[in-house]
């Protein structure tokens, strides 16, 4: 995995209504790519449905993820987005054996960061480390001007010409009321900025047009193109980035590379909400920092909270949903710790119907793989694991003894081991004090 620049490693909540807003054509029309099957079906926001996941290069995924804007302490709303995508990556790698090349960009120069920098008296030189990278952004804007997809205004701002570089499908979605930057020098109200003039006291870089800095959308396009060239299998981010960020990224990248589909699969994670339609956000000041969360809860609790609902859906953060995650964590923890006592000989293994339990284990394994393959249905997969735990526990409590029953150590250890390994694949490490270290190194 690749982390770019000052990547902040975020740590690793349930479902309420799916984003009711229709994202009809913000990403244009999807054409199924030519290439190699993976056995996975994923929801592609560009297709508005689940589609087979096909890769250009056999077994290799090029994936760009929009990262956070780093101007304040990370909160659990951010963490939930990155943990969800970390779970998807783990499943792709460890269950489906795919080679994931994941690149994440951190927005470290924009209006909010500059404001913070001025407020906190941080040296601009901290920010100027981006100089070399910004050179590439200059070049991107330059090339778009050369190809007539962008223009420079008298003041030195550079705008992307939406009527030329944006597909008719996307353009028809954007109303002129969506104008984010009001500038009478824009040719079309919907044109978005590629390079903007620096205001007084703001950091700036020299460019052929003015002392300024790059627009937000171009950072991601440039970074992804610099590393992966014109081809990108997956592009991901939170649902709040779909428009205008992803529409603009896609349009400018397709204009830059002269290609018809930059980014084949667009994956969007649901947002963390604290009430009906209220998202957790720095701008609304209703956040809970990761540090605060971890004072009373564990990293595993958080990850299970994320796993319990479909990654695409918004999740409601409240005492009930959190309690449900904590209960499940406790169940896994207790089971693995108790079963270890049988595996290491501290408890005598009971007489059980081993064939029946092994067959339950096999059917669970098959179900879990098919649930993961179906747009990463981790919520149902976890329920398959807890169902297996219930069956093992029933067997352990059973007092029936017949001659056909055998010493059940193999079957119960296999079930415990399977649950432990599957949780590990998803990033959950269960602490087991009694565990004997079974690793051997020469």
Q: Which residues of the shown chain bind Zn ion in the complex (CB under 5 A)?
A: 66, 220
Residues recorded for the chain: 442
Cα distance between residue 266 and residue 28, in whole Å: 11
CB of 220 vs Zn ion, minimal distance in Å: 3
CB of 317 vs Zn ion, minimal distance in Å: 24
Query: What DSSP letter does each residue of 40-51 carry, written as one string?
Result: EEEEETTTTEEE
Measured from the CB atom, is 103 or 419 closer to Zn ion?
103
348: exposed, middle or buried (Cβ count in 10 Å: 0-12, 13-18, 19+): exposed
Measured from the CB atom, is 67 or 310 closer to Zn ion?
67
293, 298, 304, 306: CA torsion to nearest 10:
30
CB of 235 vs Zn ion, minimal distance in Å: 8
Query: What DSSP letter does each residue of 69-113 carry, written as one string?
Result: E-SS--BHHHHHHHHHHHHHHHHHHHTT--EEEEEEEEE-SSHHH
CB of 262 vs Zn ion, minimal distance in Å: 13
Measured from the CB atom, is 67 or 203 closer to Zn ion?
67
Cα distance between residue 250 and residue 225, in whole Å: 11
Measured from the CB atom, is 66 or 127 closer to Zn ion?
66
Measured from the CB atom, is 66 or 272 closer to Zn ion?
66
Measured from the CB atom, is 240 or 365 closer to Zn ion?
240
CB of 224 vs Zn ion, minimal distance in Å: 8
CB of 64 vs Zn ion, minimal distance in Å: 8
8 A C-beta contact, residue 313 and residue 270: yes
> How would you classify the pairing of strands 99-107 and 278-279?
unpaired
Backbone torsion region of residue 353, taken as left when φ is above 0, otherwise alpha when ψ lies between -120 and 50, otherwise beta: beta
């Amino acid at each position: 995995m690749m982390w770019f620049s000052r990547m902040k490693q975020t740590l690793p909540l349930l479902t309420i209504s799916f984003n009711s807003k229709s994202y009809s054509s913000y990403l244009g029309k999807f054409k199924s790519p030519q290439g190699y099957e993976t056995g996975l079906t994923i929801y592609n926001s560009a297709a508005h449905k689940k589609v087979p996941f096909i890769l250009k290069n056999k077994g290799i995924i090029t994936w760009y993820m929009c990262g956070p804007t780093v101007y304040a302490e990370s909160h659990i709303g951010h963490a939930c987005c990155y943990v969800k995508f970390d779970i998807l990556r783990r499943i792709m790698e460890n269950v489906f054996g795919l080679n994931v090349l994941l690149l994440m960009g951190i927005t470290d120069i924009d209006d909010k960061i500059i404001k913070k920098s001025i407020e906190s008296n941080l040296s601009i030189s901290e920010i100027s480390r981006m100089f070399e990278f910004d050179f590439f952004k200059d070049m991107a804007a330059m090339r778009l001007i050369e190809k007539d997809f962008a223009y420079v205004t008298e003041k030195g701002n550079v705008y992307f010409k939406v009527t030329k570089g944006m597909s008719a499908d996307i353009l028809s979605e954007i109303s002129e009321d969506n104008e984010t930057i009001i500038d009478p020098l824009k040719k079309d109200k919907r044109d978005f900025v590629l390079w903007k003039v620096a205001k007084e006291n703001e950091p700036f870089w020299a460019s052929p047009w003015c002392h300024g800095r790059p627009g937000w959308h171009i950072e991601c396009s440039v970074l992804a193109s610099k590393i992966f060239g014109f081809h990108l299998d997956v592009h991901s981010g939170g649902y709040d980035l779909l428009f205008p960020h992803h529409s603009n990224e896609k349009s400018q990248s397709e204009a830059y590379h002269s290609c018809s589909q930059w980014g084949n699969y667009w994956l969007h994670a649901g947002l963390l909400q604290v009430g009906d339609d209220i998202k957790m956000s720095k701008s609304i000041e209703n956040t809970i920092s990761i540090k605060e969360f971890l004072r009373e809860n564990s990293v595993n609790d958080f990850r299970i909270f994320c796993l319990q609902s479909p990654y695409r859906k918004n999740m409601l953060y409240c005492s009930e949903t959190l309690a449900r995650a904590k209960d499940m964590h406790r169940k896994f923890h207790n089971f693995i710790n108790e079963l270890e006592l049988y595996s290491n000989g501290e408890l005598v293994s009971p007489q059980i119907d081993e064939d029946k339990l092994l067959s339950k284990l096999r059917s669970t394994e098959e179900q879990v793989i098919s649930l993961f393959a179906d747009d990463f249905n981790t919520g149902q997969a976890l329920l398959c694991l807890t169902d297996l735990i219930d069956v093992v526990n029933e067997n352990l409590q059973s007092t029936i003894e017949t001659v056909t029953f055998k010493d059940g150590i193999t079957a119960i250890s296999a079930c415990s081991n399977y649950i432990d390994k599957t949780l590990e694949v998803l990033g959950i490490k269960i602490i087991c004090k009694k565990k004997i270290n079974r690793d051997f190194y020469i």
